[in-house]
Structures are given as C-alpha cells and as structure tokens.
Structure 1
Amino acid sequence: MRRPLPAAALLAGVLLMAGASGAQTGLLEAAARGDLAAVNRLIAAKADIEQRDGQRQTALLLAVAGNHVAVAKALLAAGANPNAQASNQDTPWLLAGASGRTEIIAAMLPLKPDLTIRNRYGGNALIPACERAHVETAKLLLTSGIDVNHVNNLGWTCLLEIVILGDGGPRHQEVARLVLAAGADPNLADKDDVSPLQHARKRGQSEIAQLIAAAGGR
C-alpha cells in the first residue's frame, strides 16, 4: 500500500507542475516568511528576484506585506523593483506606504520609486498612509516629491481621507498638520463640493477643523 505524501511534498509537486523553479519559488516563500538567510542564499544563487506568484506578487512585495525589513533591504540591494505591480495593483512602494512600513520606505527612497503609479483606488502611497494615521511614514513620504493634492477615484485627497475616514484623534491631527504644512489645499473639495473643513465640522473633529481653518480652509 502506497504511503500518502507529506503536505510539503505535495506542495512542491504542485509548484513543479506549475513550472516554477525551486530557486524562484523558494525565494518567494523565503521572503514571505522573513527568512533572511534563505533569501541571501537564493540571491547569491542567482534566483530571479522578479519572479511572480499567482497573484503577480514579487518577493519584495511579500516582504513588505510581512514587514520583513531586513529581507526587503536585501532584495532592494540586489536590485528588486519597488514599482512591480501585482494583480491587485499594489506595488512594494504603494503597499509600504499604506501599511506604514517607514523603514522600508526609507530604503526605497534612494531608488526614486515611480510616484505616478496608482493603487486600485487611484491613489498614491500618501493617501492611505494618512488615512491610517501612519505619522512617521507620511512624514517620510512628504520628502519624496509625492503629490500632496492628488485626488483618487473617490474624489478624495489625503486631507479629505484624514477627515472622512479618520477618527479625529491625535495621530490624525498630526498627519493633517503635516500635509497642510506640506502644501495640502485646505479648500480642495470632494465630488459633492464638500470641503475638508465642512467634513471636519460635521464629524465633530474640532482640532482638525481648527488646523484646516488656520490654513485658510473655508
């Protein structure tokens, strides 16, 4: 009677049938689990660092998703592309912004990531960083030349997302302060012509409303 194959062996067989080489598949798996030693070994073995999985995610994108900073830095040093876009339109740069991966953003900045690539909502890296109140990430993104007044598919800027999707607390107040100081237009309204100040007052976000008004918001 044939003994059933272990789960790991079954997975390996599926990957081989899919045509992925051991080195390439191994790099994706190692990056996803944050195994720096394995990643360095596979880079040295000339694994394709731009290999994609079924969702067109690269090893770098998987490292960003797992917040595996050392692995992300190793991949970037080896030439990994911060602009490689997955099926859901995420890139390592966009996901790092949205997820608050400040240290990884810092490692990407010298490579001058493409600031024109948009996520599935038509946004840049700054908008979700602000919405989620990733203060240090937003502060660093603002040094990149990113468009602080970019409007996404919902008709919202980073300032509008801070107000509409934020809680008005200290961290959202701080990102509002940062983007206003960086030139965010306090009167750039949404698709219904409702201004950031009007949204802030409607939501009882008095501290943010004061910041917007002080910047010339109406």
Structure 2
Amino acid sequence: MFDAPRACLPGARRRRVLALLAGLAGVAAATPAMSAPSPAILDLLRAAAAGDVPAIERALAAGAELETRDARGRTPVLLATQGGHVAAARRLIARGADVNAQDAQQDSAFLLAGARGLTEIVRAALAAGADWRITNRYGGTALIPACERGHVETVRLLLTTGIDVDHVNRLGWTALLEAVILGQGGAPHQEIVRLLLARGARVNLADRDGITPLRHALRQGQAEVAALLRAAGGR
C-alpha cells in the first residue's frame, strides 16, 4: 500500500517518515469501506436521468432513497431536471424530493430549472418550497441566468416571488446587467428588461467598473434596450 522509506535516509528523517506512514495506515484502517449502492438506488438514478417515470416508481417501491446521490452529488430530481425531463422531475417533486439539494458544483433542481428555462419545473419547485434566495457557483440566484438566456416565462414566474431583483453575483452583475451584457438585445431580452424594470430593478446600478446597463446597451448596439433603459431614467 505504501512504499517503505529508504534505508539510506538520515535517522531523524527516517523516523518522521515512518511515523507519517504509520499514521496514514492507521487512518486507512479506521476508515470504513464505502458500500456499493444497492440495485434499487442505481435503478433510481438511471431512471431519473432517462426521465423514465414508471422505472422511477419501481425503484422507489423497491426501497431506493428519494434523496440518494450519485458520485457528483446529484439527486434524482436534479438528474431529471438536468435531462430536461419535466414529467419525471415533477413526479419526484410530488413524492417529496428536495428541490434545494445542491450537488458538488452547487446546482439544485430549482436553480438549474431557472437557468434552463424549465418553467414548469420551476413552478413545481416553488410550490414545494424552493428557496429563491439560494445561489449557484457564480453567486447568482435562479433569476440571473434566466434573464441572461432570455427565458421570458421563467423570469416572469420568478418575479412573482420575493427574489431580490438587484442581487449581485460574484461577477459584480445583477439580472439587469446580465440581460444586457450577455443578452442579444432581441425581443426576449427586451421583454425581460421591461419585466425587471417594472419589478423595480435599479436602472443605474453599475458593474464593478462603474458601467451602467445603459452604457453597456449602447456599446453593444442594443438600440431598443437602450431606449427602455433611458425611459426608466437610465444614464
């Protein structure tokens, strides 16, 4: 398991290495071996990833835990959401799946559904107690990527909650800034800008470089978005 220290090591150093290896061996001996997942658990994870609702029900009936996780920390409801399997995700949520459970990269079913524009999963998650304050690995709420990607109906739904419309992520951007900076300026992003402004988004809240949404819109040639921002007091 471990290579023995060379006999030519000086005495003191050799004793330190031996002590270190003995300690590591002790930790290894004290650490219980991880048991292999049961067939029912594997069946549930596979079924969720495939969106196979009958197979999900069979796996749960066979004793699979609803909150079991795969090697990346993904729960069945997150796997179903990741695959865009609305019916499977909704069934798991109806069975009591935790929509706020985050995986190793801080995705949850609620956050990912928002980012992907899976409005019906977002709706089911909210009804099941989704925490709209939870943030992803970029420090953003579900609203921010939904705005960036032009998911109008998802944004409309999220804005019916108490979600912070001016939340700033780790990039220093709000939902309004992302809608402008990373958006295309077309009809979906124009509507999202209208929705955000109607919800009270601060039109002149700048990024870390002091650049406002209006200035970003002008730089990117988004004339229609710039007009909306100006009408709301943007500068």
- Partner residue in 2 for 1:70: 87
Indicate which of 113, 124, 134 corresponds to 1:117.
134
Amino acid at match of 1:215: A
Aligned equivalent of 2:111: 94
1:85 matches 2:107: no
Aligned partner of residue 192 in structure 2, secondary structure: helix
Give, in whole Å, the separation in 2 of the partners of 1:91 and 1:105.
11
53, 56, 59: which one aligns with 1:39 = 56
Partner of 1:172: 189
Rounded to whole Å, the distance in 2 between the matches of 1:187 and 1:46 is: 54
Q: Which residue of 2 aligns with 1:144?
A: 161
Amino acid at match of 2:231: A
Taking only the aligned residue pairs, the percentage that are identical comes to 58
Q: Which runs of 5+ in 2 are unaligned?
A: 1-33
| Cα separation, 2, equivalents of 1:177 and 1:18 | 53
SS in 2 for 1:105: helix
Is the 2:40–2:60 contact (alpha carbons within 8 Å) kept by the matching residues of 1?
Answer: no
* Deviation by residue 1:165-202 (Cα, 9 ceiling, x = unmatched): 11111111111111111111101100011100111111
Moved more, 44-53 or 131-140: 44-53
Q: Is the 8 A contact 1:31 1:62 kept in 2?
A: yes
**TM-score, normalised with respect to structure 1:** 0.90
1:190 pairs with one of 178, 200, 207: 207
Q: Report deviation, 1:112.
A: 2.3
1:206 is aligned to 2:223: yes
Tell me the residue number matched to 2:14: none
- Structure 1 residues without counterparts, runs of 5 or longer: 1-16
Q: Count residues in correspondence.
A: 202
Deviation at 1:105, TM superposition (A): 0.7
Distance 1:119 1:93 in 2: 10
For residue 18 of structure 1, report the CA deviation from its aligned partner.
5.9
1:216 to 2:216 alignment: no
Alignment match, 1:4:
none
1:58 maps to 2:105? no
Higher RCO (C-alpha under 8 Å, 6+ residues apart): 1
Q: CA RMSD in A?
A: 1.1
Paired residue type of 1:35: D
